Amino acid sequence: MSDLGLDVYLLVFVLAAAGAWGLTVFLPLHRLARPAEARLGRRRVGGLAIFTAFVLALLLASLVSSDLSDLLASHKRETAGLLGAALMILLLGLVDDFLEVNFKIKFLVQIAAASLVFVIGYRIEDVSLPWSATFSLGWTAPLLTILWLVFLTNAMNLIDGKDGIAAGVAIIVAVPLAFIAADVDNPLIAAQLVAVAGACAGFLPLNLPVASRLLGDSGALLLGFLLAALAIEGSIGVTGSIFISVPIVALGFPILDTLLAFVRRAAELRHPFVADLDHIQHRLEQRGLSDRAVVLSLYALCILFSGAALTIHYVEATGAEFLAFFAFGAAITAVLFRLGYASSLWNSSSVASLRGALASAVGLQRHPPPPESDDPAMPYEDRPLPASKRRPF
C-alpha cells in the first residue's frame, strides 16, 4: 500500500481548513437559518461547509500527490460509498434543521447509510480486546457495525448542545485516530481523518461562543457518521482485527454523554429520544462555568481520552496500558460523581421504587404511614392523629 508523507497530510489539512473557512464566511447561505437565529445573524452552515471542504481537500490534494491519487483510484468503490452514505446523512440533517424530522425516519435513513458502508467494507468483524484477546463477531457483525454507526452519529449530535463543542471534539478525536490509522498502514483513512479535522478547524473559529455559524443537525450528524465509519477502518491492525478499545476510548466523551442520557431518561421513566437540558455540558454550566469554560473543560476531557487511546495503541507495556485504562475510568467516575449523575440515578423514580421493593421484600422497610385524612369512611383506628394533637417526640 502506498504511504503518504507528512507534507501530504499537512496539505490535506490546510486545504480542508481553508475551504471550510471560506465556505462558512463567503457563501451566501442566508436562508440556512431558522427565523429566531436569522435575527441574530446565526446560520446553520456547518454541514455543507464541512462536507464540501472534506471532499475538495482530498480531490485537490490528489492533484498534487500521486500517492494520494493512486490510493483514491484503488479505493474508489469504498470512497464513493462513504461519500454517498455521508451525503445521505448530510441531507437528512439539512431537512431536520428546518422541518424537524420524526426520529423514526431519522433512524431509517441512518440505518440505510450505515448498511451502505457495511456493504462496501467498513465492518466490525474480528475484534481484539486488550491483552491479546481476539474473537470473531460472526453473524452479529452487521448488527453491531450498524449499531456502532447509528449510535455515534446521534452521539455527536447530542453533544452539540453548545457552541463549539462538537466541532472541537471532532478535531481532538480525528487527529489521534489519523496517527493510529497511518501507523497501522491505512494512509487513505488517515488522510480522510485529517480532512475531517481540517474542515472542523476551519469552521471552528466562527462556531466558538458566541457563534455566528452553527453546525446544525446536518453538521453534527455528518461528523458523527464520518468519525464512526473512519474509526472502524483506522483501528484495523495487520491481523485484520479491530482494536476496539482504541476508538471507544478516543470517542469516550460522546459515548459517555449519550449512554448517560439514555440511562437517566429510562431511570426517570421518560422517553429516551425526547431531548432535555441535562447533558454533561449543562451540568457544567449549572456549576457556574461560563460558555467558554464549559467548552474548554470538555476539550480537556476529550484530550485525556485521546491521550489514553494513543497510549493504548503505541505503548506495548502492560503497565502503561493499565494506567491509560485507569485514567479513562477515573475520568468517567469523576463525571458521574462530581456532576451528580450517580446521585440522580440513585434517587430516580424507577431506582427508588426498585430499592423500596427490595427493602420491603427482605423486611428492612415498613410501609409508609397513611396520609392524614378526615374522611369519615376511613375506620377511626386507622386515621392518623391531627398534627395539633401529636406528642412532640
Residue in the structure block whose three cell numbers are 453491531: 144
pLDDT, residue 153, reads: 97
- Residue 311 and residue 174: Cα distance in Å, rounded? 16
Residue 246 pLDDT exceeds 80: yes
pLDDT, residue 32, reads: 54
- Residue 220 and residue 227: Cα distance in Å, rounded? 11
| Phi and psi based region of residue 216 (left: phi greater than 0; alpha: psi -120 to 50; beta: remaining) | left
* 262 part of a folded domain: yes
Higher-confidence residue of 60 and 389: namely 60
pLDDT, residue 350, reads: 85
- Residue 224 and residue 204: Cα distance in Å, rounded? 16
User: How many domains, the chain?
Assistant: 1
Q: Read off the pLDDT of residues 187-227 as tens digits, 9 standing for 90 and up.
A: 999 999 999 999 999 999 999 988 788 888 999 999 999 99
Residue 384 pLDDT exceeds 70: no
* 364 part of a folded domain: no
- Residue 232 and residue 111: Cα distance in Å, rounded? 16
133 forms beta bridges with: 129
- Residue 254 and residue 148: Cα distance in Å, rounded? 12
Instruction: Look at 81-95, 211-225, 366-380 and tell me which has the smallest mean pLDDT.
Output: 366-380
137-156: average pLDDT: 94
pLDDT, residue 333, reads: 94
Q: Read off the pLDDT of residues 158-169 as tens digits, 9 standing for 90 and up.
A: 999 889 999 999
Confidence of residue 388 (pLDDT cuts 50, 70, 90): very low
* 137 part of a folded domain: yes
* 369 part of a folded domain: no
The 3-state DSSP class for residue 15 equals helix
pLDDT, residue 167, reads: 95
- Three cell numbers, residue 234: 483506522
Question: Residue 58: which domain range?
Answer: 6-350
pLDDT, residue 115, reads: 97
Q: Which helix (H) or strand (E) holds 192?
A: helix 187-203
- Three cell numbers, residue 83: 461519500
214 forms beta bridges with: 44
Confidence of residue 89 (pLDDT cuts 50, 70, 90): very high
pLDDT, residue 225, reads: 97
* 243 part of a folded domain: yes
pLDDT, residue 42, reads: 54
Residue 54 pLDDT exceeds 80: yes
pLDDT, residue 181, reads: 94
Confidence of residue 58 (pLDDT cuts 50, 70, 90): very high
Q: Read off the pLDDT of residues 280-302 as tens digits, 9 standing for 90 and up.
A: 999 999 999 999 999 999 999 99
Residue 3 pLDDT exceeds 80: no
Residue 317 pLDDT exceeds 80: no
- Three cell numbers, residue 257: 454523554
* 370 part of a folded domain: no
Q: Read off the pLDDT of residues 107-131 as tens digits, 9 standing for 90 and up.
A: 999 999 999 999 998 999 888 877 6
Strand order in the sheet with 242-243: 133-136, 126-129, 242-243
Instruction: Look at 66-80, 118-132, 163-177 and tell me which has the smallest mean pLDDT.
Output: 118-132
* 376 part of a folded domain: no
* 373 part of a folded domain: no
Residue 94 pLDDT exceeds 60: yes
Average pLDDT of the chain is 85
Higher-confidence residue of 362 and 38: namely 362
Residue 349 pLDDT exceeds 50: yes
Q: Is the dihedral of CA 304, 306, 308, 311 positive or negative?
A: negative
Residue 392 pLDDT exceeds 60: no
Q: Read off the pLDDT of residues 25-36 as tens digits, 9 standing for 90 and up.
A: 876 554 555 555
